Amino acid sequence: MTIQQLESKEIESFLSDREMRVHGVKVHAVQTNHVVDIVKNWVENDRRFHYLSSTNTNNVISALESEKYFQLMEDSDLSIPDSVPFLWFGRLKGYRLQKRCGIEEVMLSLFELSDQGFDFKHYFYGNTQKVLDELKRRLVQQFPRLHIVGMYSPPFRELTPEEEKEHIRAINESNADFLWVSLGCPKQELWLYDHREQLNVVLGGGAGAVFNFLSDQTPKAPRWIRYIGMEWLMRLLMNPKRLWRRYLVKYPKFLFCVATTKLKRILS
């Protein structure tokens, strides 16, 4: 029996068995094939809104700094290990995590299903119009049968309540199965969490820079750099103004938490 054939409670049990805590923050020790099977099950059998967290060290530190963000992570239906160090952590816990399982890997795997006869509908929200236009061009070229039901670049300012309602209405009326949001972290995650009761999509996930990568507006690090967990350095060098706090403040804070936790265990 595959994961896709499991009942909702059995899926919850599967994820519970694969739940690992990184500084108290929930992360599921899963691979992309697990996620795809679970999502396909949700589309067919459990069409309520599900929140997908693509979890890395930045998310963990954000959760430690904010009670609301911690609750957001705690309430996530699926928290995937979008970080090479989390793969290492999972292996130490005894899980067979061979490949990175981030939001990009999940999105591409779901896009590929369109060429296998699955008519899943996708909505892309956020980023710039230029990125969205190029993203659509490239995705349709790569996945000719991909069903894109909407793309929208909201204004780069705080939206009015009326604008928020209009955007939610447009997303819901598109009958999208999947909603991919690129507003930057933590804004995109909080946006999805705050609107979880109004959205009728099956799955919502913060995609961040993945829109830029898939549209080829931002170069990706070579595979070997990603394999050794140093992609962050290349991203920092390319966009220091926007990412300096994440990589020069939050990452050292994460490593400090790791070191102090291990020290406490040694001394206890």
Q: What is the pLDDT of residues 93-147, one digit of tens each?
A: 899 898 889 999 999 999 999 999 899 999 999 999 999 999 999 999 999 999 9
Q: What is the pLDDT of residue 152?
A: 98
Question: What CATH fold (topology level) applies to the domain 3-218?
Answer: Rossmann fold (3.40.50)
| Polymer length in residues for the chain | 268
Report CA dihedral (220, 222, 228, 232) to the nearest 10 degrees. Answer: -30
Report pTM. 0.83
Q: What is the pLDDT of residue 138?
A: 97
Largest Cα separation within the chain, whole Å, is 58
Helices (H), strands (E): how many in the chain? 14, 8
Domain boundaries, the chain: 3-218, 224-267
Q: What is the pLDDT of residue 266?
A: 36
pLDDT at 239 over 70: no
Q: What is the pLDDT of residue 265?
A: 44
Q: What is the pLDDT of residue 262?
A: 44
Alpha-carbon distance 94 to 101, whole Å? 17
Q: Which residues pair with 180 in a beta bridge?
A: 124, 205
